[in-house]
């Protein structure tokens, strides 16, 4: 375990969102896995939960949804720390950027932290949300709080209290994504390995450097935290274009991070740290764009239907 000192404000942030302090324990498997969360955390049994399966053809175009721009994310936080919280790899922020464009979010939202979910070792499926039948390798969540609320506890009690921006993480090729290494190198170097390991960044960086080249197209729906306490306080944004990493980078996540502290009698690798998808229960998933367009891309399911129709017409 490393011996870095953690600023008090960052320590407070690391307690929230992923790994809330609570007498009850939870995990991604076993007797305290997702199926049992509702017993100790009542919100987890409610009907507007996350994650969900997004089917593009079943979403509703909303021309009022604006476009996110890189400039919204270029403010460098005043302090950042990387930590293993026992459930995920997380970066806590102090002085994170604030998004104030009401065309993209319904209020002013300040970034608090971001964290990762990924597939278990030996698997390629680890994202929380699915898109058109595909579960990606992983998913990056950037958690923001609505600044009209005094603190995180108040925000959690309101449906617009939090905004989470989600990016799918896709394995493609053998070339490393150099921008992604900013969170992987401390893991490779052994600075962050076990639960509660913390490494402050000597030089904070803008989160935007990790984003895909384009991120204009996204889906929007009302939902919840994907971990206990599962508060239904999240305005969800899931971007269509994924962050791409190499197989070697995926292996760092799958084989280097442990759920318990270094001194624990037993330990287990973190991985497969995703909640199974939940029903929409009447919620509407919106998307950017207008009409019945495909945002410049056609899904696998839509392509199959199109090919079937063309073949039927040819051989009629």
| Catalytic residue positions, numbered | 87
Phi, psi of 167 (to 5 degrees): -120, 130
The greatest distance separating any two alpha carbons of the chain, rounded to the nearest whole angstrom, comes to 73
Q: How would DSSP label each residue in 134-156?
A: B--SEEEEEEEEETTSSSHHHHH
Length, in residues, of the chain? 316
């Amino acid at each position: 375990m490393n011996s870095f000192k953690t600023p008090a404000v960052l320590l407070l942030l690391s307690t929230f969102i992923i790994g809330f302090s609570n007498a009850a324990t939870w995990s991604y498997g076993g007797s305290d896995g997702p199926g049992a969360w509702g017993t100790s955390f009542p919100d987890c049994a409610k009907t507007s939960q996350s994650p969900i399966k997004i089917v593009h053809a079943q979403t509703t175009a909303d021309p009022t949804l604006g476009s996110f721009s890189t400039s919204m994310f270029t403010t460098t936080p005043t302090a950042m720390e990387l930590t293993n919280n026992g459930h995920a790899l997380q970066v806590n922020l102090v002085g994170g950027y604030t998004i104030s464009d009401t065309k993209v979010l319904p209020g002013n939202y300040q970034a608090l932290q971001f964290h990762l979910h990924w597939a278990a070792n030996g698997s390629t499926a680890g994202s929380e949300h699915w898109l058109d039948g595909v579960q990606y390798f992983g998913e990056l969540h950037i958690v923001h709080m609505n600044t009209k609320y005094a603190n995180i506890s108040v925000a959690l009690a309101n449906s617009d209290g939090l905004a989470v921006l989600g990016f799918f993480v896709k394995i493609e090729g053998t070339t490393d994504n150099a921008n992604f290494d900013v969170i992987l190198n401390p893991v490779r170097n052994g600075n962050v390995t076990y639960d509660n390991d913390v490494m402050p960044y000597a030089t904070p960086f803008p989160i935007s450097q990790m984003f895909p080249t384009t991120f204009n197209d996204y889906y929007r729906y009302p939902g919840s935290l994907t971990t206990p306490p599962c508060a239904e306080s999240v305005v969800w944004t899931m971007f269509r274009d994924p962050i791409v990493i190499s197989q070697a980078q995926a292996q760092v996540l799958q084989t280097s991070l442990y759920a318990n502290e270094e001194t624990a009698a037993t330990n287990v690798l973190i991985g497969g740290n995703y909640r199974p998808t939940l029903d929409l229960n009447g919620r509407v998933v919106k998307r950017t764009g207008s009409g019945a367009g495909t945002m410049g891309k056609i899904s696998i399911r839509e392509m199959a239907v199109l090919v079937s129709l063309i073949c039927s017409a040819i051989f009629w």
